[in-house]
Structure formats: C-alpha cells, structure tokens
Structure 1
Amino acid sequence: MRISTSSFFELNTLAMGLQQQNLFNVQQRLSAGTKFLTAGDDPVGAARALGVTETLAESSQYAASRERATLALKREETALDSTTVLLQNIKTLTVQAGNGTLSDADRGALATTIQSNLDQLVGIANSDDGNGQFLFAGFKSASPPFAALAGGGVQYVGDQGQRLMQVDAARQLSTSDDGRSVFQTVQGGAGYVTSGLAGNSGTGVFSAVSVVDATSADYGKDFTISFTGGNYTVQTQDTPPVVAASGAFTAGSPIVFGGLQLSFSGTPADGDSFDVSTAKNAGTDIFATIGELVTALRTPLSGGGDAAKAQLLNALSTANVKVTNAHDNVLTVLSSVGSRMNEIDALDTGGAARDLMDKSYLSAIQDLDPASAISEFYQRQTSLQATQMTFAKLASISLFNYL
C-alpha cells in the first residue's frame, strides 16, 4: 500500500502531537503534585477525593464551632469563678457579723462591705461577652437579664433558654446557662432552711436542722413551729395544716418532727413562730437573701435587748444557710461548664484523629508519586525526541539522493 507524502506528514504530526500532549500532562501533574488534573482523568478517584474533601470541610466547620463554644464557656467560667469568690466572702462576713463584741457601727461597716459585694454580684450576673451578648440572659441575650426594682432588689427579665451550638455531627452543646438557674436556684439536695418571723419578740435562737429519719412520711414537707404558753406545736404548711409534733418546750432539748430535728436556746415568746422549709421553698434568690442580710446588719441592736440579738442571730443563721446553698449551686453550674469544656477537648481530639485519617486517605487517592512521575516524564520525553529524530530522518529521504 502506498502512503502519500501528505498522509505521511499528517500521521507523524498527529503522533508527535499526542506524545507532546502526554508529556505536557505529566508536566502539569508534576507541577500540581496530583495524580489527576480533571475528573475525566480518573472519575472514580475524583469522586472519592471530592467526598473526602467535603468531609474535611465539614470537620473544619465543627472545629470552628467548638472554638467559639470554648470561648463562650471560658467567659462563663470566669464569671462563675468571680461569683464563687464573692459568695465565699459574704459567707465569711456573715460569720464575722455573729461576733457578740461587735458594735452597731461595726455591723454597719460589714453591711456596707456586703452591699458592695452584692453590687459586684449583680454586675457579674449582667456581664456580657464583649459583643453585646449577655451571658446569663438565655435567648434574650440582647439586654441585661437582671433589672433593678424600684423598691430595692433585682428581678430576672431573661428567659430559661439554652443557646446550643453544633459542635460535632451528632452533638449539640449548650454554651450558656440562664441567670435563674445560676443565681435563683438551689440544688435538690440542699436540705432545710429555718427562719424566724419578723414579728417574733422572744429570745429563742434556733440551731441547725439535722435529718434523723429521711423515710418519715412527712419528710420533705414544709413546717411551722409556733410557741404558746411554754409549749411548742409543729404543723405542716399543707392546706389544711397537720400537726406533726407538739410538747412542752425546754431550751436546748431537741424538737423532732417529720424526720428532722432542731433545738432552741433562749426563750421564745408566746406567738413566736419559725418556718422550717425545704431550700427550694425558703427563697432561692441570692440577691434577695443578701439584701435581707444587709438590712439585718444595719438594724441597730442598741436598746433592743436580748430579743433584738436573737433576731439578728437567727437572721445571720438563715442567711448563712441560703448563701451556702447558692454557693453550692454556682459550684455545680461551674462543674457543668468544666464538663462541657472537657467534652469539647475530647471532640477536638477525636476530630483531629479523623482529619488525620481522612487527609491520609485523600493523599493516597490524589497525591502524585514524584519518583514514578519523573520516570514517566523522562520516558515520554525520550520517546518524543526519538520520534522527532526518526521523522526528521525519514522526511529528508529522497530518490534524488541515490541518483
């Protein structure tokens, strides 16, 4: 079969062009460091690489969310740490205020210090994250969660929403706690709180409440102890009330009722009453508790006699128990914050391990082996050069050379 000159040139040109294209493809892959430049080069590998790349991008988003969640929790942790310090200071000052050698002026000075701590506590409760979002406001994070009341005290105006953040594919984590659960709540195991009524005129001072029988039918109810004619009567605060215990009062002797026990020193006057309530029903607002403590310390004892001293000691005991309950509650919330931060650390560790495996898999799919690619490059380059030299030789042959 005869091959025309034009066909000869055309076929050789196409062959050299294909070799040049293959050589250029190898050069591009060497430059990019990848096995394929387009999905057409390796459809299966390109699809796998795309899936792994999307997984890595999603993991990066979760990592960014965890970073923001950690920052939010650290801000809350700082605020709660400051709260525990303030509450501990108030507890110390409350115990100090019970010193019988203090004068009205001394107690007034302590009241001023406690009021300062209270103001700082309200400031912490209304702290924000630096971007105008209040830490303890729930979903109403655009405005301060605690508002001052005209007659004194503060009111919670936030809500109990928890701001959740998606920190992993199957995990949403709360990055905040609402102010009510932090500053106006006690733990379920907080126990009982005893308090004297404002109109008491005797010298009765109650002791701490202890649990003697948690299986009692009345255990967990709220009680009122009243004194009349040298006798005491303990009634539940049910409707109608039920008598839980009664008898002749003896100073220092325990009064047992509803699985509880306490005693009184001094002599309660006729008509004096004391509430023994579960902590959740005894007033859980720490701001109100501290405000009542300040008021009690600023009330002069001069001229009030033993009855005024008894009222002060009872008020201090009540405040001490309530502040302790509030302190324990804040510590519980702080522990929860720490647990969430630990969980984020664990998710970060797991995410980093998954990313490492995904990146290794992605590298195996698309990363080029430089040694084999360079070898292929030189092979194709040599082949192209040989083809070009052969074509040049053949193209120069003519019958005239043999005449």
Structure 2
Amino acid sequence: MRISTQSFYEQSQSAMNSQQTSLLRVQQQIGAGSKILTPSDDPLGSTRALAISQSISLNAQYSASRAAAGQTLSLEENALQNTSEILQNIKGLVVQAGNGTLSDADRASIATTLQSSRDQLLGLANSDDGNGQFLFAGFKSASAPFVQQANGSVQYAGDQGQRLVQVDVSRQMAGSDDGRSIFQSVQGGAGYITSSNAANAGNVTFSATSVINAANPNYGKDFTISFGGGNYTVATTDVPPVTVATAAYTSGTPIQFGGLQVTLSGVPAAGDTISVSTAKNAGTDMFASLDNIITALKTPFDNATPAARAQMLNSLSTGNVKMDNALNNVLTIRSSVGSRLQELDALKNTGDTRDLSDKSYLSDLQDLNYTSTISELYQRQTALQATQQTFVQMKKISLMNYL
C-alpha cells in the first residue's frame, strides 16, 4: 500500500501534537500539584473535592467561633470565681459580726471591710473582655451594666439578652450570661427568707426557716406572722389574706405553718410583724442585701434598746441567708460556664478529627502522586522524542536515494 507524502506528514504531525499535549498536561499537573486541572478531568472527583473543601471551610469557621466563645467564657469563669470567693468571705464576716462580744468599733470595722468587698463585687459585675465589651451587659455590651445611683443603690442598665455563638453544625451556645441573672437573681430552689418589720417595737428574733412538708397546699406562698394579745397569727399575703395558723405565743417554741417551721425568741409588742417570703420575693439583689448588712453594722448596738438590738441581729440573720442564696446562684452559673467550656473542648476534639479526615480525603481526591507522575513525565518526553526522531528519519526517505 502506498502512503502519500501528505498523509505521512499529517499522521506524523498528529502523533507529535498528541504527545506534546500529553506532556504539557503532565507538566501542568506537576506545576499545580494536583491531578485534577479542570472539572472535565474527573467530574465526580471534582464535585466531591468541592464539597469537602466547603466542609473544611465551615469547620474552620466553627473552630474560630469556638475559640472566641472559649475566650469569653474563660473571662466570665474567672470573674465568677473571684465573685464566689468574695461572697464566701462576706458570709464569714457576717457570721463574725453576730458575735455578741464585739464592740461597736469592731462592727464598724467589719462594715468597712464589707464596703470594700461590695466595691470589688461592683467592679467584677462590670468586667469587660479587654476590647471595651462588657461581659454581663447582655446585648448592651458597649456600656457598663451596673450603675451606682446617687442614693448609693446599684441599678442594672443592661438587658437579659444572651449572645449565641454557632460553635458546630447543629449547636448554638451562649457565649455569656447577663448580669441580672448573676448578681440580682436566685435559683428556683432557694430557701425561704425571714425578716422583721423595721417598725417593730418588741425584741423578737428568729432562727432560719426550715421546710418540713413541701407537699403542704400553702407551701410556696409568702406569709406574715403578726402578734397581738399574747397570740401569734400566720396569714398568707394573698388578697384577701388566708389565715393558716394561730396560737398562743411562747418564746423559743417552734411554730409551723404552710409546710415550714421557724423558732421565734423574745417578747413581741402588739402589732409587730415578721415576714416569711420565698427567696424570689424577698429581694434578690446582692448589692442591696449587702448594703442592708453594712447599714445594720454601722448602727450603734452597745447602748441600744432591746428592740434595736433585735433589729440588728435580725438584719444580720436575713442578710446571711440572702448572701448564701446569692453565692449558690453564682456557683450554679459558674457550673454552667464550666460545662460549656468542657463542651467546647469536646467539640474542638471532634472538629479537629473531622478536619483531619476531610483533608485526608481531599488529598486522596486531588493531590498528585509525584513518583508516578514524574515517571510518566519521562515516559512522555521519551515518546515525544522518539516520534520526532522517527519523523526526521522517515522524511529523509526518497526514491532518489536509491538511483
């Protein structure tokens, strides 16, 4: 069969072009470090690589969110730790202040120490993250959440919003807690608070109120104990009030009502009242509670009337229970913060494992095997050179060379 010169040139050119295209593609793969240069090289692999790349990007964003949430929660945990330590010291000082051997000067000294502790608590309540954002202000994080008023009271100026952070695919986490829930709240299980009316003329003092029957139908209500004619009467604060107990008053004898028990000592005056309220209705502001304790300790006691002495002792007793409730509330929230930090650690470990798995899979899909690709490069170069040399030799063939 005779092969025309034109056909020979066309076939040789086609062969060399094919070899050059293959060689160029291998060179591009080596330069890019990837075996997929265009989606048409591997449509299925390209689709999977795109999905895995998006997963890696999302995981990186979740990782950044976890780091930011962890930093904020760590700052909050540190503030709550300091707060709980201060509250524990306050409780110890309040118990010490109830010692009957102390003088007015001793109690005034304790009041000064408590005032310093109060200032520290206010500073912790206005903690920020170092970037001007206040930790306990809710959504109003640009301004201090607790503001001291002209009369000395502390007003909460923040809100109760929680900044949620997307820390994983299906997990949003509160990155902070609002100040009201920390410094002006109590837990639902907080005990009853007993307090005396500031206008009482008698010298009745009370012990801590204990629960003896939580199934009592009146349990959970607020009560008022009133005195008159040698008797006491216990009524709810409902409108109209409902009398739940009445009997002759005997100093030191426990009285029971609404599933509760309290022991009263001393001599009441007609018209005196004692309030027994749930913790949430008895005042939950730790700053106000501490102010009341400080005021009581600054009141002269040594030469005071029996009624004034009873009022001071009752104020310390009430304040001690309130500070105990405040401490329990802070510890509960601190436990919640610790749980969130622990969860962030677990999510970080899961995210790191997922990230490693995704990157390994992406590498399998698109990363180049340099050993086999370089070997292919040499093969393509050799094949191209052989094609070129064959073309040169065949081009020299002519009938004239044999005449």
Normalized against structure 2, the TM-score is what?
Answer: 0.96
Matched residue, 1:96: 96
For the residue of structure 2 that corresponds to 1:8, the secondary structure is helix
Q: How much has 1:297 moved relative to structure 2?
A: 0.5
Q: Residues of 1 paired with 2:369 and 2:148: CA distance?
A: 70
Q: How much has 1:142 moved relative to structure 2?
A: 1.3
Q: Residues of 2 paired with 1:131 and 1:337: CA distance?
A: 21
Matched residue, 2:148: 148
1:396 aligns with 2:391: no
After TM superposition, list the pairs within 5 Å mapping 1:201-220 onto structure 2: 201-220=201-220
1:267 aligns with 2:258: no
Matched residue, 2:382: 382
- Amino acid in structure 2 at the alignment position of 1:226: S
Q: Residues of 2 paired with 1:193 and 1:348: CA distance?
A: 44
- Amino acid in structure 2 at the alignment position of 1:214: A
Matched residue, 1:116: 116
Matched residue, 2:126: 126
Q: How much has 1:7 moved relative to structure 2?
A: 4.8
Q: How much has 1:10 moved relative to structure 2?
A: 4.3
Q: How much has 1:51 moved relative to structure 2?
A: 1.2
Q: Residues of 1 paired with 2:2 and 2:75: CA distance?
A: 88
Normalized against structure 1, the TM-score is what?
Answer: 0.96
Q: How much has 1:158 moved relative to structure 2?
A: 1.1
Of stretches 345-354 and 318-327 in structure 1, the one that deviates more from structure 2 is: 345-354
Q: How much has 1:307 moved relative to structure 2?
A: 2.6
- Amino acid in structure 2 at the alignment position of 1:283: G
Matched residue, 2:136: 136
Q: Residues of 1 paired with 2:249 and 2:275: CA distance?
A: 17
Gaps of 5+ in 2: none
Of stretches 93-102 and 384-393 in structure 1, the one that deviates more from structure 2 is: 384-393
* Aligned residue pairs, count: 403
Q: How much has 1:126 moved relative to structure 2?
A: 1.2
Gaps of 5+ in 1: none
Q: How much has 1:198 moved relative to structure 2?
A: 0.6
Q: Residues of 1 paired with 2:51 and 2:212: CA distance?
A: 65
- Amino acid in structure 2 at the alignment position of 1:188: G
After TM superposition, list the pairs within 5 Å mapping 1:204-353 onto structure 2: 204-353=204-353
Q: Residues of 2 paired with 1:253 and 1:58: CA distance?
A: 68
Q: How much has 1:6 moved relative to structure 2?
A: 5.1
Q: How much has 1:78 moved relative to structure 2?
A: 1.1
Q: Residues of 1 paired with 2:44 and 2:242: CA distance?
A: 80
Matched residue, 2:45: 45
Q: How much has 1:2 moved relative to structure 2?
A: 5.1
For the residue of structure 1 that corresponds to 2:41, the secondary structure is coil
1:10-60 deviation digits (Å, cap 9, x = unpaired):
432332132122112112223333211122222221121111111111111
- Amino acid in structure 2 at the alignment position of 1:357: S
- Amino acid in structure 1 at the alignment position of 2:75: R
Matched residue, 2:82: 82
1:103-130 deviation digits (Å, cap 9, x = unpaired):
1111111111111111111111111111
Q: How much has 1:4 moved relative to structure 2?
A: 4.8
Of stretches 297-306 and 112-121 in structure 1, the one that deviates more from structure 2 is: 297-306
Q: Residues of 2 paired with 1:101 and 1:279: CA distance?
A: 31
Of stretches 274-283 and 220-229 in structure 1, the one that deviates more from structure 2 is: 220-229
Q: Residues of 2 paired with 1:33 and 1:130: CA distance?
A: 44
For the residue of structure 1 that corresponds to 2:39, the secondary structure is coil
Q: Residues of 2 paired with 1:298 and 1:401: CA distance?
A: 129
Q: How much has 1:353 moved relative to structure 2?
A: 2.0
